[in-house]
Amino acid sequence: GEDVEQSLFLSVREGDSSVINCTYTDSSSTYLYWYKQEPGAGLQLLTYIFSNMDMKQDQRLTVLLNKKDKHLSLRIADTQTGDSAIYFCAEPFDNYGQNFVFGPGTRLSVLP
């Protein structure tokens, strides 16, 4: 079946860069997504990348996509305490692109 994998925890110091990694399985996915979840809240879309792109940059966020290895990463530059949250990568899955598969989430802790 479809499976999206992420490391579960990441700790960084404030001001450093954070890199959150994800591997996915469905090579036909048109888009891949990163979501952020703050404590007790729903998921908020951070960014997405179209599958024909290798990189997308949006302010402090950089998404890198390696389709050959089915590897997706999210880099957060100048990480702030407000970036502490759980980050999920997700890909659409099923014949009609109706469903989504989420990774287990990476809990990012930003230390002062």
Partner 1 sequence: SQTIHQWPATLVQPVGSPLSLECTVEGTSNPNLYWYRQAAGRGLQLLFYSVGIGQISSEVPQNLSASRPQDRQFILSSKKLLLSDSGFYLCAWRRWGAGGMSGELFFGEGSRLTVL
Which parts of this chain interact with partner 1 (CB under 8 A)?
Answer: 30-31, 33, 35, 40-45, 48, 50, 88, 90, 92, 97-105
For the chain, give the secondary structure using H, E and C.
Answer: CCCCEECCEEEEECCCCEEEEEECCCCCCCEEEEEEECCCCCEEEEEEEECCCCEEEECCEEEEEECCCCEEEEEECCCCHHHCEEEEEEEEECCCCCEEEECCCEEEEEEC
What's the closest the beta carbon of residue 90 comes to partner 1, in angstroms? 8
Minimum distance of partner 1 from residue 47's CB (angstroms)? 10
Residue 9 vs 66, nearer CB to partner 1: 9
Cβ proximity to partner 1: between 67 and 97 the closer is 97
CA distance 43 to 102: 11
Nearer to partner 1, 15 or 31 (CB): 31
CB of 71 to partner 1, least distance (A): 18
User: Toward partner 1, which CB reaches closer, 2 or 16?
Assistant: 2
